[in-house]
Amino acid sequence: MIRDQFDKPTQALIDRAHDLGISTGIERLSAQEPQCGFGQLGTCCRMCYMGPCRIDPFGNGASAGVCGATADTIVCRNLLREEVGGAASHVGHARHVVLTFKKMLEGKAPGYRIADREKLYEVAAGLGIQTDGKDEKEVAMMVVEKALEDLSRQDEEPMNWIKLRAPRKEIDLWSKKGLMVSNAHNEIEEAMHRTSMGNDEDPVNLLLACLKIGLVDGYAGLHMATDFHDILFGTPSVKKIEANLGVLDKDMVNIAMHGHNPVLSEKILEWSEKLSDEAKAAGAEGVNVVGVCCTGNELTMRQGVPMAAHNLQSELILLTGAVDAMVVDMQCIWPSITRIADCFQTKVITTESFVKMQGAVHVAFEPEEADRKAEDVVRLAIEAFKQRKGKDVFIPEEKSIGMVGFSVEAVLDVLKKIDADDPLMPVIDNIKNGNIYGVVGFAGCPSIKLRNTFMTETMVKELLKNNVLVVTTGCTAHICAQAGLLNSDATEKYCGEGLKTVLKALGKAAGLDVALPPVWHMGSCVDNSRIATLIKALAERLDVRVSQLPVAGSAPELVQEKAVSIGTWLLALGLMVHIAPHPRILGSPIATKVLTETLEEITGGKAFVELDPYRAVEGLLNHIKTKRQALGI
């Protein structure tokens, strides 16, 4: 038995892997320990072939690299490159969706359509597009052109999506501080250029570049992707779903959709329904599409698809032997899955040209052939079921019920039933009277290093007890769903009396017989944009800076470069961002001081590192208290 401290279904699959002699991330982490201390502190440099160089931050070894780069320079260069990786992932995601949308408008991708016309026109108006006398297709193409302009313009004007989605006071601040960005691709190129050997050496200048990459991620990545997702597939609305590994069904063709891009997963879901009779002819009861990681969030909030597994469980779910096909697109795909899948004859199907895996079947998925390729994928899963039928499987029984789909539009629809003329006022009133003490957004992944501490669940429950409303995205949303924090029972069980009163009133206004859940599922990792949109609305309604609000963010189990770039965007917005484990900056006194102290004087934001969940909550509550006092509430 290994680390018998995980939740029951996760531990059961870890034990099963151990019994079968199959390596999982738990064992691979153990084999790596102790991990490289230079790497953990960020003081290892591989920018040129005179190295690699390692700087001892404690003064007992080398104080500079071969070229003379100090620990401060090396740490800040490494941090900027991490952020480039994260921002490039989200900008690439957004560009993919925009180009799919463009192909649809050109008649080249007939399998897609505009699902939310109202969102299209809202975005067009925000971009300053005159829609009078123009048909829907013409308006949509102008929106596409505005999006592509943010990837190509050379006039130094602010990005269109910053002007569309960023708070006005923050736009003014970024302009004054020299942080404004114009072209996402130019910023990514310049960041890579400045961090190559022999360029930018000034750690503070490098950290300012980190803030700019954060803005690139937030607006040319997250916001742009979310807006086009909603227009193309529909804006989420609140619905009830099931979560955890127990959503698998041994008698059905189980297709696990893993990755981030609904351009693929929406089509797979559509064809799983169309080919249901073929699945039944093969001896199955039908096709069961389940979601893993952020594709799971995209599918659940729009289509009610069960949330089967978060990122840490993405290899463990295959150990059930019940997954017939795992279909992946991009990001967060563990290389181990093909090796585990091979033990159970599970088909791993890759779909992107830049995400291929040894041992996987590759089905090149292009929007022009979306229907044919989705049909091929579902048929591969049906064939795999034929091979599995009659064999033993091991599916943990646990599953929970939750409410998902809390888009900003869905939240405002509920609030309008209380105050149609000023829907944010009920929230503001309850923040003022303390029923809602503050709001904290949780995002990111589950980390093997912290999962056995139940970091996310513990922090959420402690905040709820103190009347702090929690909103969540990404794999932390999966964690909360599995922990039963997305349902009304959790409101009664975990909330302080003030927050409980608010959620009961909102549930009644929504026409429900129960309270709203205390944790609001707002979507996938790109949907951190929705949290920012809600914050923007509150700040502008109150005519204050974002940094003045009693709100904060938390990446309680930091894993991905994407979380680093998202976190830096939130720092640029003016939020305090809690992080665990520590980012790789502690080898630089300058980076540590700027990000945890000095930055507050520039944007209002600051990083807060704490690995103990109770002390982390104490820090967040103290921050919220300070903001409330400054507002006089």
| pLDDT tens, position by position, 390-406 | 899 999 999 999 999 99
User: What is the DSSP code string of 211-250?
Assistant: HHHHHIIIIIIIIHHHHHHHHHH-----EEEEESGGG--T
**Which stretch of 13-17, 346-350, 450-454 has the lowest confidence by average pLDDT?**
450-454
533, HSE (Cβ side, Cα atoms, 13 Å)? 23
Give the three-state DSSP class for 152.
coil
Section 290-301 average pLDDT: 97
Amino acid at 2: I
Section 299-312 average pLDDT: 97
Place of tokens 């991330």: 25
Which element (helix H / strand E) includes 519? strand 519-521
How far is Cα 468 from Cα 617, in angstroms, rounded to an integer? 10
| pLDDT tens, position by position, 114-137 | 999 999 999 999 999 999 999 999
pLDDT at position 60 over 90: no
Task: Give me 585's structure tokens.
Answer: 């900056």
Helices 224-233/293-303 angle, 10° precision: 40
Section 343-358 average pLDDT: 96
pLDDT at position 18 over 80: yes
Section 426-452 average pLDDT: 95
% of residues, the chain, pLDDT over 70: 99
How far is Cα 102 from Cα 96, in angstroms, rounded to an integer? 10
Helices 136-149/117-126 angle, 10° precision: 50
User: How far are the Cα atoms of 79, 415, 624 from residue 577, in angstroms, in the given order?
Assistant: 16, 27, 12
Contact 105, 137 (CB under 8 A): yes
**Phi-psi map region of 470: left, alpha, beta (phi>0 left; psi -120 to 50 alpha):** beta
> In terms of Cα–Cα distance, which of 443, 440, 412 is closest to 427?
412
How far is Cα 481 from Cα 497, in angstroms, rounded to an integer? 22
CB proximity list for 60: less than 8 A, separation 6 or greater? none
Section 48-71 average pLDDT: 91
DSSP designation for 157: P
What pLDDT score was predicted for residue 59?
Answer: 77
Phi, psi of 582 (to 5 degrees): -70, 140
Largest CA distance in the chain: 72
What pLDDT score was predicted for residue 1?
Answer: 40
| pLDDT tens, position by position, 422-437 | 999 999 999 999 999 9
How far is Cα 14 from Cα 368, in angstroms, rounded to an integer? 41
How far is Cα 483 from Cα 477, in angstroms, rounded to an integer? 10
Contact 52, 74 (CB under 8 A): no
Place of tokens 């905040």: 463
CA 462 to chain CA centroid, Å, is 22
pLDDT at position 4 over 80: no
How far is Cα 439 from Cα 243, in angstroms, rounded to an integer? 24
Contact 86, 103 (CB under 8 A): no
Task: Give me 423's structure tokens.
Answer: 């829907």
Amino acid at 429: D
How far is Cα 628 from Cα 633, in angstroms, rounded to an integer? 5
How far is Cα 628 from Cα 540, in angstroms, rounded to an integer? 17
Measured from the Cβ of residue 20, the count of other Cβ atoms closer than 10 Å reads 13
| pLDDT tens, position by position, 213-267 | 999 999 999 999 999 999 999 999 999 999 999 999 999 999 999 999 999 999 9
What pLDDT score was predicted for residue 462?
Answer: 98
Phi, psi of 553 (to 5 degrees): -120, 160
Contact 256, 287 (CB under 8 A): no
Per the document, the length of the chain is 633
Task: Give me 183's structure tokens.
Answer: 């072209």
pLDDT band at 311 (very low <50, low <70, confident <90, very high): very high
Task: Give me 625's structure tokens.
Answer: 């208290």
Q: Which domains does the chain have, with CATH numbers?
A: 71-233 (1.20.1270.30), 245-388 (3.40.50.2030), 402-631 (3.40.50.2030)
> What is the rounded average pLDDT for all residues in the chain?
96
DSSP designation for 538: H
User: How far are the Cα atoms of 27, 32, 316, 321, 542 from residue 17, in angstroms, in the given order?
Assistant: 10, 19, 8, 11, 54
What pLDDT score was predicted for residue 453?
Answer: 87
pLDDT band at 70 (very low <50, low <70, confident <90, very high): very high
How far is Cα 228 from Cα 148, in angstroms, rounded to an integer? 12
How far is Cα 79 from Cα 71, in angstroms, rounded to an integer? 12
